[in-house]
Amino acid sequence: MKYAYIGTYPPRECGIGTFTSNLLTYMDCCDQARERANEGFVVAMNDRTEGYEYPPEVRLTVRQEHQRDYIKAAEFINISGADICILEHEFGIFGGEDGIYILPLLHRLEIPFIVTLHTILKEPSYTQKAVLQQICGMASRIIVMSKRAVSFLNKIYHVPKNKIALIEHGVPDLQFSQELSKKEFNLENKKVLLTFGLISRNKGIETAINALPKVVRKHPDLLYLVIGKTHPNVIKIAGEEYRYYLRRLVKELDLENNVLFLNEFINQNDLFKYLSAADIYVTPYLNEAQITSGTLSYAVGVGTAVLSTPYWHAQELLDEGRGRLFDFNNSKELSDILLELLDKPEVLRELRKKAYDYGRKIIWPKIGREYIAVTETVLEEKPEVVVKKEITIDPLILPPFSLVHIKRLTDDTGIIQHAKFGIPNLKDGYCLDDNGRALLMALMTYKEKKESLALDLMPIYLSYIHYMQNKDGTFRNFLSFNRTFLDEVGSEDSFGRAVWALGYLLCYPPNDAYFQVGKMIFLNAAPNFENLKTIRGIANTMIGISYYLKANPTDEIMLETLIKLSTKLIDQYNLEKYKNWEWFESILTYDNGVLPLSLFHVYEIINDHKILETATKTMDFLSKVTIKDGYLSPIGNEKWYKKGRQRAIFAQQPIEALTMVLMFHQAYLVTKNKEYLDKLFTSFMWFLGENDLRMTLYDFETEGCCDGIERYGINRNQGAESSLAYLISHLTVLQAYEHYHTYIQLTCL
């Protein structure tokens, strides 16, 4: 048979990568032992731009946050001649929210696949549950590594038990002498306590360190080895703060001679030597929510005496005397167990023997044969593989997402307002509107794609907003290139757009520093919220407050403010609506979609059906006026569209397409009506040529967006507003594609 494996892979330093490598090796060895031809290749997940120096079995790589790569990977597997695909699943190794980017790949596979689940959450978020249910629904078989995992899948995720196979985590069949291993690592005459793995606070290493003073007083030859790098996600957020804390703790407890940190990711061979050298292995994790631990399986497989807190995998693997459990955060209990085992070598030997005997049952050659048996059974069943029909949204036709033009427009003050073709026009300086949009775009980009450039740009736009805020919380709007204020108080529109971006920042902060600055500016602006009079200023502000309340749902004062503002908007609608005119004014002008959009956001917060009804009616009216013949034709800025008169066609602005995209996306999120996704993508395609002139506004050369559609053709200037409108729309399309695959199960069940 020919197998296609999807997962991380060495030399990437990742436990799942090691698992994938072992699985491929031992499935191949097992088939060869049975004189059967076998071939395996790997589609490897990359978490960094430069990639890795992979071995030959890696035939294709997928960049974690690049959705196109997943689709190309599906096409590659389909034409590879593979009989079956084996997916190693862990939420964090795939792109998108909770790894949702893997779904388009799986939807497109034309061969059956099985999945090994390395994490199964007892209390998943909505998206986590939906992603896992989608994967399990498509898979021909789901492999888990513990009995509890079977129960979770069945009871929480509603996966039929007949689709689930229990195969324990494999252990390499590596045997080393304890005496020789200790000698190699200069650990002779030491009683060795070992913890291994990526370091983070949830590993509870301080529990083990706090247990040592009482033990080393009686056994001064005890050495606690902590081997492993700090988890890369921890490094991004907090650096080495936890490791420094542990070192300070060691010094405070006078344990410098008894604790040694090895800050490295060691290879499998050396890991097993360290495990062989260890007298006792300890996993002092802080909570029970760990369904699988490869290092725990390795320790048992080698025959090390294992002490562990009672997380799920440990409860099961260390049952029947194969190890000892101590309570979470209970250093005293761990001290007592350590003293007992070190004082009674015969008890320690018995513990090691039981672990070793069990470990022989889960060595990789045996586990490999179990995987082969599962794949053979699946293929004998000849499962029907249904390739999902494409929805309207197709990321393959999107240009590559790029911040090149935005970087070109941005200096150390902010984003330049206008451009001559693709060149910044410094004469026109900066404005709050664009820097608010730019902050929103950068936040969305970092949330969606984790691009470091977006993170670097954020403080520029945030500092501009801060600089333009007056003492009373209002904002100036315009600033010249030489940093001279050009107004005293900006428009309510610009105020609202700044608040929108700040609210989004408070809901999805990339780090605490930006959060604190954003919170300060947002709360300084808050006293002005109820004084707003223009409906677009109100609408933009409502969106910002809605995002704020997602993160701060108990803020009753802000909730009351949101209700008052939404009442103003609805009152305006009730005043102006007439027969076939379902709108807030007697004229359709600019930034029209933001008005229904704001009400859809408010409805998500307060669940008032009167708000939903108004949002839906006005959205439907705007759609009827602007979507025709299968494409978007926004209201032109030449003369707009007065009630009872002809609508303007030209001077169409990108901001109109943007708010339509955002409006349909938010409508879909609160109603789950797929029709809105179709309209969303129709609106987005305005940028790419599905418009009145059938010309693209996106410039593939500069990677910016043109300023609009005029009677004479395309306005080739590429200022901040138009380019930001395109990028925010692009990001929203990607989010919509993710959300569709998250929620599609509701219609499939």
For residue 288, is pLDDT > 60?
yes
What pLDDT does 743 receive? 54
**The domain 402-748 is classified under which CATH number: 3.30.70.141, 1.10.10.10, 3.10.310.30, 1.50.10.10?**
1.50.10.10
What pLDDT does 746 receive? 42
What pLDDT does 34 receive? 54
Q: For residue 387, give the amino acid letter.
A: V
pLDDT digits (tens, 9 = 90+) for 510-540: 999 999 999 999 999 999 999 999 999 999 9
What pLDDT does 608 receive? 92
How far, in whole angstroms, is CA 472 from its chain's centroid? 38
Q: For residue 187, give the amino acid letter.
A: L
Q: Which residue has the higher pLDDT, 462 or 228?
A: 462
For residue 389, name the pLDDT band (cuts at 50, 70, 90): very low
Spatial CB neighbours of 560, under 8 Å, sequence gap ≥ 6: none
pLDDT digits (tens, 9 = 90+) for 112-166: 999 999 999 998 886 788 789 889 999 999 999 999 999 999 999 999 999 999 9
For residue 391, name the pLDDT band (cuts at 50, 70, 90): very low
Burial of 38 (0-12, 13-18, 19+ CB in 10 A): middle
Spatial CB neighbours of 506, under 8 Å, sequence gap ≥ 6: 515, 518, 519, 522, 547, 548, 551, 552
Domain pair 178-362 / 402-748, same fold:
no
pTM of the model: 0.60
**The domain 178-362 is classified under which CATH number: 3.30.930.10, 3.40.50.300, 3.40.50.2000, 3.40.50.150?**
3.40.50.2000
What pLDDT does 579 receive? 85
How far, in whole angstroms, is CA 318 from its chain's centroid? 33
How far, in whole angstroms, is CA 401 from its chain's centroid? 17
Q: For residue 424, give the amino acid letter.
A: P
For residue 237, is pLDDT > 90?
no
pLDDT digits (tens, 9 = 90+) for 30-86: 655 555 556 899 999 999 878 899 999 999 999 988 867 888 999 999 999 999 999
User: CA 659, CA 635: separation in Å to the nearest integer?
Assistant: 12
pLDDT digits (tens, 9 = 90+) for 580-631: 899 999 999 999 999 999 999 999 999 899 999 999 999 999 999 999 878 8
How far, in whole angstroms, is CA 439 from its chain's centroid? 19
User: CA 689, CA 705: separation in Å to the nearest integer?
Assistant: 12
Spatial CB neighbours of 90, under 8 Å, sequence gap ≥ 6: 16, 99, 118, 119
**Residues of the chain above pLDDT 70, percent:** 95
For residue 197, is pLDDT > 70?
yes
Query: Which 8-state DSSP code applies to residue 417?
Result: S
Spatial CB neighbours of 126, under 8 Å, sequence gap ≥ 6: 742
Which of 11, 14, 186 shows the shortest CA–CA distance to 88?
Answer: 14
**How big is the chain, counted in residues?**
749
For residue 107, name the pLDDT band (cuts at 50, 70, 90): confident
User: CA 357, CA 406: separation in Å to the nearest integer?
Assistant: 62
Question: What class, spelled out in words, does domain 2-170+365-380 have in CATH?
Answer: alpha beta
Residue with tokens 């045996």: 366
User: CA 62, CA 69: separation in Å to the nearest integer?
Assistant: 5
Query: Which 8-state DSSP code applies to residue 257?
Result: T
Q: For the chain, give every domain's residue range.
A: 2-170+365-380, 178-362, 402-748
Quick check: bond before 654 cis, omega within 30? no
Q: Which H/E stretch holds residue 424? A: strand 423-424
User: CA 32, CA 40: separation in Å to the nearest integer?
Assistant: 12
700: left (phi over 0), alpha (psi -120 to 50) or beta: alpha
For residue 748, is pLDDT > 60?
no
Spatial CB neighbours of 135, under 8 Å, sequence gap ≥ 6: 87, 89, 102, 103, 106, 115
State how far the alpha carbon of 746 is from the alpha carbons of 162, 491, 501, in Å.
22, 43, 32
pLDDT, mean over the chain = 91
Residue 397: how many other CB atoms lie within 10 Å: 9
What pLDDT does 117 receive? 95
SS3 of residue 89 by DSSP: strand
Q: For residue 98, give the amino acid letter.
A: D
Phi, psi of 419 (to 5 degrees): -145, 155
Burial of 126 (0-12, 13-18, 19+ CB in 10 A): exposed
What pLDDT does 231 receive? 80
